[in-house]
């Protein structure tokens, strides 16, 4: 099937090929081809990041993927024929490889990379091999691939507003089954209820059942639930449909894994909420949470799913490494649209549109991912939340009134509560991306946000920064930190009958000049951000320059792949 690739000296390999064909005869054919013909293989920085993302979801296929990656590297690395291009963004990567002579891109039809090629239409004069199921077609140019494979049109089911209503009321003690009745589930206890339906525990402890009210299940919704249940996502951190449920032969709902914890909206709601839910957290825990979230959304993108309605209430958090995506029955799967969206997290380009009336692209979700990045790093704050600003948040968004500056020259409109110090202590790369997004209206792919945030995580983990404030959830100015009152509460005296047996580690303090609960002295002045430590152990003088996180893109080596 890959015979045509023998005509090329170099192959630009997309991760989706490994993801979809690892352990198959097609992958064996590919490794044999590159080995026998001494083909050079080029991959982007995104290649290895997608690999990490998949492995972190603990899917059943993770072992096969790891083994296939090792096999690929064993064929290429000894002869220095595996080359890492230090670029995570699609356009940046394509600009880096377009000069490679006699080359061909190898990707798959539903891959993130292929979708980005449609969105950006980069300048590339080489060929592209597109794999789909058991076929591989080589196109002489990107334009010919675009013409032969037009974007999917909106499913006609989106126009069908009929309901697949059950004449029965399903409740506790009832038995529901899957379609072929090979599985049955008893509804044991009602857990919660909402506008769409009710959630019940079942006799399977690892699964709960969502049973819809009447007037909710449309042909579109049911087709989407069926498609979701067939994706093969097994990670319990995705509360995604597992079994479609029927009662007396009529569709009523689905089973899904049970998420744990509280919603992100509850936990990330300013200093008091963070301290209440996670009193021992550091800045590294905040960043860990963000990394886990971006990974999950990228994992959905790999399965041709766009979340659509990204917001803080649509995820649960138990701890920084235990995060769950919920309310997943509204997502977009292929050409089955997501009919809902939250304005604050949605790209203003899409405001006013009928979400059920078009197929969203990955670029439509880039803004939502950027919103997620800011909201988590700033503990629930909206990027356009301003002091002395407009009357409505909508006005601030449309005016791009982002109150933060790259040189910290103006902090008048930044909300009180220490958010100016969170901004100052962020790495230059992240600050620049956030400023470009919310002030200048530029856009970054999810993988680029993932790249920047994971780099930040590594800097925190390696203790790169000399200033201890850089590691706090809510940092403050260094000279003020030395004078800060110690709010640690001493253990209660057991002789005191009124003593709290489980005292909080921190006392909640509210000040008149800080509605968020964080004390801001009136005499605060400008200060320089922390200084990274250089390789020789001395403070790095080049603090204004983004750190080089290209991960050693030396030709012939793939650093840190495992």
DSSP string, 74-124: HHHTTTT-EEEES--SHHHHHHHHTT-TTEEEEEETT-HHHHHHHHH----
Residue 478: the pLDDT is 58
For the residues 408-432, what does the mean pLDDT come to? 94
Q: For residue 389, what pLDDT band results from cuts at 50, 70 and 90?
A: confident
Per cent of the chain over pLDDT 70 is 85
- Whether 169 has a pLDDT exceeding 70, the answer reads yes
Per cent of the chain over pLDDT 90 is 78
Q: How many residues does the chain have?
A: 562
The overall average pLDDT reported for the chain is: 86
- Whether 401 has a pLDDT exceeding 60, the answer reads yes
Q: For residue 477, what pLDDT band results from cuts at 50, 70 and 90?
A: low
Give the residue ranges of DSSP H helices in 187-310: 219-229, 264-267, 271-277, 283-302
> 241: helix, coil or strand?
coil
What CATH number is given for 175-257 in this structure? Answer: 3.30.200.20
How far is Cα 388 from Cα 398, in angstroms, rounded to an integer?
A: 16
Handedness of CA 255, 256, 257, 259 (dihedral sign): negative
Residue 161: the pLDDT is 84
For the residues 146-175, what does the mean pLDDT come to? 92
Q: Taking Cα atoms as reference points, which of 194, 201, 450 lies closest to residue 329?
A: 194
How far is Cα 12 from Cα 460, in angstroms, rounded to an integer?
A: 33
For the residues 448-458, what does the mean pLDDT come to? 98
In terms of average pLDDT, the best of 94-98, 516-520, 523-527, 542-546 is: 94-98
Q: How many CA atoms lie within 13 A of 313 on its CB side?
A: 5
Asked if 185 contacts 255 with a C-beta cutoff of 8 angstroms, the reply is yes
- Please give the structure tokens belonging to residue 133: 């199921």
How far is Cα 208 from Cα 96, in angstroms, rounded to an integer?
A: 48
What CATH number is given for 3-148 in this structure? Answer: 3.40.50.1010
Asked if 68 contacts 30 with a C-beta cutoff of 8 angstroms, the reply is no
- Please give the structure tokens belonging to residue 75: 């064929």
For 258, which DSSP code?
P
Q: What angle do CA 16, 19, 20 make, to 5 degrees?
A: 85
- Whether 80 has a pLDDT exceeding 90, the answer reads yes
For 350, which DSSP code?
G
Taking the CA atoms of residue 442, residue 122, residue 111 and residue 102 in that order, the dihedral angle to the nearest 10 degrees is -150
Q: For residue 500, what pLDDT band results from cuts at 50, 70 and 90?
A: very low
| Distance, CA of 30 to chain centre | 30
- Please give the structure tokens belonging to residue 383: 């990027």
Residue 527: the pLDDT is 35
How far is Cα 220 from Cα 22, in angstroms, rounded to an integer?
A: 32
For the residues 49-71, what does the mean pLDDT come to? 90
Residue 297: the pLDDT is 98
- Whether 519 has a pLDDT exceeding 80, the answer reads no
| 99-134 confidence digits (pLDDT tens) | 999 999 999 999 999 999 999 999 999 999 999 988
Residue 269: the pLDDT is 94
Residue 388: the pLDDT is 83
DSSP assignment string, 284-337: HHHHHHHHHHHHHHHHHHHTTEE-----GGGEEEEETTEEEE--GGGSEETTB-
Q: For residue 525, what pLDDT band results from cuts at 50, 70 and 90?
A: very low
- Whether 554 has a pLDDT exceeding 50, the answer reads no
- Whether 464 has a pLDDT exceeding 60, the answer reads yes
Q: How many CA atoms lie within 13 A of 471 on its CB side?
A: 13
| Distance, CA of 276 to chain centre | 25
For the residues 199-208, what does the mean pLDDT come to? 95
Q: Which residues pair with 108 in a beta bridge?
A: 131
Q: How many CA atoms lie within 13 A of 522 on its CB side?
A: 3
- Each domain of the chain, given as residue ranges in start order, spans 3-148, 175-257, 262-471
| 207-252 confidence digits (pLDDT tens) | 999 999 999 999 999 999 999 999 999 999 999 999 999 999 999 9
| Distance, CA of 50 to chain centre | 11
Locate tokens 């008091």: which residue? 272
For 130, which DSSP code?
E
How far is Cα 105 from Cα 313, in angstroms, rounded to an integer?
A: 39
- Please give the structure tokens belonging to residue 300: 């959905």
- Whether 482 has a pLDDT exceeding 70, the answer reads no
For the residues 458-468, what does the mean pLDDT come to? 95
Q: From the CB of residue 486, how many other CB atoms can be counted at a distance below 10 Å?
A: 6
- Whether 559 has a pLDDT exceeding 70, the answer reads no
For the stretch 404-409, contacts whose Cβ atoms lie closer than 8 Å and that sit 24 or more positions apart, written own/partner, are 404/431, 404/434, 404/435, 404/439, 405/435, 406/431, 406/432, 406/435, 408/526, 408/529
Residue 534: the pLDDT is 40
Handedness of CA 133, 135, 140, 143 (dihedral sign): negative
Q: What angle do CA 77, 80, 82 make, to 5 degrees?
A: 65
Which residue did the predictor score with more confidence, 388 or 346? 346
- Whether 499 has a pLDDT exceeding 90, the answer reads no
Q: Taking Cα atoms as reference points, which of 103, 105, 101, 41 lies closest to residue 74?
A: 41
For the residues 260-280, what does the mean pLDDT come to? 94
Superfamily of 262-471 according to CATH: Transferase(Phosphotransferase) domain 1 (1.10.510.10)
Residue 173: the pLDDT is 96
Residue 548 contacts by C-beta under 8 Å, 6 or more apart in sequence?
none
Write phi, then psi, for 447 (nearest 5 degrees): -65, -30
Residue 184: the pLDDT is 96
How far is Cα 360 from Cα 91, in angstroms, rounded to an integer?
A: 20
For the residues 350-375, what does the mean pLDDT come to? 96
In terms of average pLDDT, the best of 185-194, 448-457, 544-553 is: 448-457
Q: Taking Cα atoms as reference points, which of 149, 122, 154 lies closest to residue 138?
A: 149
Residue 480: the pLDDT is 52
How far is Cα 543 from Cα 546, in angstroms, rounded to an integer?
A: 8
Asked if 362 contacts 116 with a C-beta cutoff of 8 angstroms, the reply is yes
Residue 168: the pLDDT is 84
């Amino acid at each position: 099937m890959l015979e045509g690739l023998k005509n090329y000296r170099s192959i630009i390999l997309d991760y989706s090929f490994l993801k979809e064909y690892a352990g198959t005869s097609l992958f064996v054919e590919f490794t044999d081809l590159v080995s026998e013909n001494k083909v050079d293989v080029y991959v982007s920085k995104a290649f290895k990041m997608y690999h990490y993302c998949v492995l972190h979801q603990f899917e059943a296929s993770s072992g096969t993927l790891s083994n296939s990656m090792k096999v690929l590297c064993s064929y290429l690395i000894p002869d220095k024929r595996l080359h890492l291009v230090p670029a995570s963004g699609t356009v940046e990567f394509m600009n880096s490889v377009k000069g490679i002579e006699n080359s061909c891109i190898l990707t798959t039809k539903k891959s993130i990379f292929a979708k980005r090629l449609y969105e950006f239409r980069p300048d590339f004069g080489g060929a592209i091999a597109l794999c789909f199921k058991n076929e591989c077609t080589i196109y002489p140019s990107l334009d010919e691939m675009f013409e032969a494979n037009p974007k999917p049109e909106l499913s006609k089911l989106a126009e069908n507003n009929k309901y697949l209503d059950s004449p029965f009321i399903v409740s506790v003690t009832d038995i529901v089954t899957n379609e072929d009745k090979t599985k049955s589930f008893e509804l044991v206890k009602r857990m919660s209820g909402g506008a769409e339906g009710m959630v019940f525990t079942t006799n399977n402890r690892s699964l709960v059942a969502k049973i819809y009210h009447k007037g909710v299940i449309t042909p579109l919704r049911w087709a989407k639930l069926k498609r979701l249940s067939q994706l093969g996502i097994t990670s319990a951190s995705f509360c995604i449909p597992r079994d479609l449920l029927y009662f007396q032969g009529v569709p009523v709902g689905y089973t899904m894994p049970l998420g744990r914890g509280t919603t992100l909206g509850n936990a990330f709601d300013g200093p008091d909420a963070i301290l209440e839910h996670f009193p021992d957290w550091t800045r590294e825990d905040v960043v860990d949470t963000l990394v886990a979230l971006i990974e999950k959304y990228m994992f959905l993108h790999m399965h041709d799913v766009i979340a659509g309605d990204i917001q803080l209430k649509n995820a649960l958090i138990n701890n920084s490494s235990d995060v769950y995506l919920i309310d997943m029955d509204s997502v977009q799967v292929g050409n089955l649209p997501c009919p809902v969206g939250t304005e604050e997290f949605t790209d203003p380009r899409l405001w006013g549109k009928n979400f059920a009336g078009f197929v969203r692209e990955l670029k439509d979700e880039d803004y939502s991912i950027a919103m997620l990045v800011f909201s988590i790093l700033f503990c629930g704050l909206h990027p356009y939340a301003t002091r002395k600003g407009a009357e409505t948040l909508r006005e601030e968004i449309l005016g791009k009134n982002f109150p933060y500056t790259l040189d910290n020259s103006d902090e008048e409109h930044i909300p009180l509560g220490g958010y100016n110090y969170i901004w100052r202590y962020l790495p230059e790369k992240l600050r620049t991306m956030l400023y470009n997004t919310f002030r200048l209206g530029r856009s970054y792919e999810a993988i680029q946000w993932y790249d920047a945030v994971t780099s930040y995580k590594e800097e925190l983990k390696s203790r790169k920064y000399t200033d201890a404030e850089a590691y706090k959830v809510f940092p403050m100015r260094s000279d003020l930190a030395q004078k800060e009152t110690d709010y640690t509460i001493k253990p209660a005296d057991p002789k005191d009958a009124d003593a709290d047996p489980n005292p909080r580690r921190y006392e909640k303090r509210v000040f008149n000049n800080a509605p968020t609960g964080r004390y801001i002295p009136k005499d605060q002045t400008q200060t320089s951000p922390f200084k990274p430590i250089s390789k020789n152990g001395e403070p790095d003088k080049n603090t204004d320059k983004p750190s080089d996180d290209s991960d050693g893109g030396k030709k012939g080596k793939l650093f840190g792949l495992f």
